[in-house]
Amino acid sequence: MPDSFDVIVIGAGPGGYVCAIRAAQLGMKVACVEKRETLGGTCLNIGCIPSKALLQSSELFEEATHKFKDHGIGLAGVTLDLARMQARKGEVVTANVRGVEFLFRKNKVTWLKGEGRILAPGRVAVNGEEYETKHIVIATGSESIPLPGVEVDERVIVTSTGGLELDRVPERLVVIGGGYIGLELGSVWRRLGAQVTVVEFLDRIVPGMDGEVGKAFERILAKQGMKFRLKTKVTGARKGNEGVTLTLEPAEGGAAEEITADVVLVAIGRRPYVNGLGLDAVGGALDERGRIATNGHYATNVPGIWAIGDCIAGPMLAHKAEDEGVAVAEIIAGKAGHVNYEAIPGVVYTWPEVASVGRTEEQLKAEGIAYKVGKFPFTANGRARAMGDTDGFVKLLADKATDRLLGAHIIGPDAGTLIAELALAIEFGASAEDVGRTSHAHPSLNEAVKEAALAASGQALHI
């Protein structure tokens, strides 16, 4: 008689492990299948957590080498011990993945180690063992999109996985793709001494973000020393003694040229990962972009099989996957699980950080929604001046007729933390005036948020 469960979750990333915990909290007997040696998925092992560890370390290095002197602090002989920096990153990852193991034990979630394969609705095989379950939740995540002609070896031509593991600072790093990964990891290696060139197919970086913020971001990163080749495509790569020679062409066609790099990072997006899952064998449908097709309640077209996280539609973000994990567990338990996709923040953890929630100005224009803009620069914020971090601004978009907040976009110090109050404001259906009339501590960076809210109706005080 095979072991049987109420729910088997396949994949232990932020979507899967959170779903497993929530389902267990709701009284269900739960197993979570993971083929990686450790829990936590892409995010904890090779994504969010190791990248933020290196972003933190490299930012400290840059502060010590370039910023301390502005504060009157002299430091002699600052050195870089990359091996130690990488070892610390490993320790951070280990602490996080062990944390998930602890949470599984605490919530009595069974960890099934190995690759999960769906045999039929209600039947999953792991390492030759079969298990029965009332529900299957697929949370198998995503993988890097390959670029034809630029073959990844994770040594000199790397994805984010190899880009987090370099044991030497490359003299010349070429990043293909000016999105989240390219700009975060490009920043890490630039701060540590690499000359970084970002090759982007479109005419702007971070294409999904508000256009004005994207332009400002590009200017600030260029000021820090990052080079940009926009409207450019890479058509081939050749490895030699000198490094990797890439062939570039204007995106719209034209004369080719070559550039050489010691390391090339391919970061042109990620795609859903469903290899080996057996979804096709049970008739599970994918959408036109290869994502598992689900209805508004995370149900696939096969009864009893659900899907969440990077392998379905929506932004590929850890907190989106987590929120869906909670929602689907609640739906399975007969409750009203729900995710508000209008209020999911996105943050690029460079310095300054870039954060947004809700609609961009371009989206509002395309949707024909009448809006007003409130903007406030960090140069006029006392705390930002005291910190010496005045690059950037807060931009709020509110409905012209009702004043309801529709979007918030911040580029500036700690933007990733500042955005939280605006996600909450949008979630609660707040108006710009609600934010502007809320008391904000002085002197804090959050005052720039309040001032931007006041600016939406022409009432900013400090500009």
Determine the Cα–Cα distance for residues 147 and 152; give it in Å rounded to an integer.
Answer: 9
Task: Find the shortest distance in angstroms from Cβ 138 to ligand FAD.
Answer: 8
Q: Residue 215: how many CB atoms within 10 A of its CB?
A: 13
Bridge-based pairing of strands 4-10 and 30-34 is parallel
Shortest Cβ distance from residue 269 to ligand NAI (Å)? 4
Pick the closest to residue 211 from 373, 349, 351 (CA basis): 373
DSSP string, 132-182: EEEEEEE---EEEPPBTTB---SSSEE-HHHHT--SS--SEEEEE--SHHH
The answer to whether 182 contacts ligand NAI (rule: CB under 6 A) is yes
By C-beta, is 15 or 377 nearer to ligand FAD? 15
What letters, b where the CB count within 10 A reaches 16 and e where it falls short, cover 35-70?
bbebbbbbbbbbbbbbbebbbbbbbebbbebebeee
452 binding ligand NAI? (CB under 6 A): no
Which does residue 207 bind out of ligand NAI, ligand FAD, none, counting CB within 5 to 8 angstroms by kind?
Answer: ligand NAI
Residue 211 binds to ligand NAI (criterion: CB under 6 A): no
Q: Which residue, 184 or 447, is less far from ligand NAI as judged by CB?
A: 184
Name the nearest CA neighbour of 321 among 348, 288, 292, 350: 292
Exactly one of 181, 248, 327, 422 binds ligand NAI (CB under 6 A); that residue is: 181
Q: Which is nearer to ligand NAI, 52 or 400 (CB)?
A: 52
The structure tokens listed for 325 are 């994990």
Q: Judged by CB, which is closer to ligand FAD: 138, or 452?
A: 138
Give which of ligand NAI, ligand FAD, none residue 147 binds (C-beta under 5 to 8 Å, depending on kind): ligand NAI
Instruction: Give the residue from 188, 187, 202 showing the smallest Cα distance to 233.
Output: 202
Stretch that binds ligand NAI, among 188-196, 236-244, 255-263, 312-320 (CB under 6 A): 312-320
Asked if 180 interacts with ligand NAI (CB under 6 A), we say: yes
Q: Which does 351 bind (CB under 5 to 8 A by kind): ligand NAI, ligand FAD, none?
A: none
Q: Which of 92, 196, 326, 347 binds ligand NAI (CB under 6 A)?
A: 347
By a kind-dependent CB cut-off of 5 to 8 A, residue 10 interacts, out of ligand NAI, ligand FAD, none, with ligand FAD
Distance CA 374, CA 388 (A): 24
Q: Count of alpha carbons within 13 Å of 81, Cβ hemisphere only?
A: 6
Which positions ≥6 away from 43 have C-beta within 8 Å?
Answer: 13, 14, 49, 318, 321
Residues 239-278 that bind ligand NAI (CB under 6 A): 267-270
Quick one: 225 or 276, whose CB is closer to ligand FAD?
Answer: 276
* Residue closest to ligand NAI when measured from CB atoms: 179
Q: Would you say 75 or 281 has its CB closer to ligand FAD?
A: 281
Give the DSSP H or E segment for 437.
Answer: none
Peptide bond into 443 cis (omega under 30): yes
Q: Closest CB to ligand NAI among 415 and 448?
A: 415
Q: Is 200 in the site for ligand NAI (CB under 6 A)?
A: yes
CB of 147 to ligand FAD, least distance (A): 15
Yes or no: say if 184 and 205 are a contact pair by the CB < 8 Å rule: no
Nearer to ligand NAI, 309 or 374 (CB): 309
For the bound state, the minimum distance from the C-beta of residue 177 to ligand NAI, rounded and expressed in Å, comes to: 3
Cis peptide before 2 (omega within 30 of 0): no
- Report which of 393, 392, 380 is spatially closest to residue 443, judged by C-alpha positions: 380
Joined tokens for residue 93:
């990852």
| Residue 407, binding choice from ligand NAI, ligand FAD, none, Cβ under 5 to 8 Å by partner class | none
State the minimum distance, in angstroms, from the CB of residue 241 to ligand FAD.
30
The entry of ligand NAI, ligand FAD, none that residue 14 binds, CB within 5 to 8 Å by partner kind: ligand FAD
Question: Which residues are identified as catalytic?
Answer: 442
Is residue 14 involved in binding ligand NAI (CB under 6 A)? no
Instruction: Tell me if 316 contacts ligand NAI by CB under 6 A.
Output: yes
**What is the number of other CB atoms lying within 10 angstroms of the CB of residue 345?**
21
Binds 62: which of ligand FAD, ligand NAI, none (CB < 5-8 Å by kind): none
Instruction: Please state, in angstroms and rounded to a whole number, the distance separating the CA atoms of residues 305 and 294.
Output: 10
Contact assessment for residue 453 and residue 432, using Cβ atoms and an 8 Å cutoff: yes
Give the footprint of ligand FAD on this chain (CB under 6 A): 10-16, 33-36, 41-43, 47-48, 51, 115-116, 139-142, 160, 181, 273, 276-277, 309-310, 316-319, 321, 349
* Alpha carbons 158 and 62: distance in angstroms, whole number: 24
The binding site for ligand NAI (CB under 6 A) comprises 147, 176-182, 184, 199-202, 207, 233-234, 267-270, 315-317, 347-349
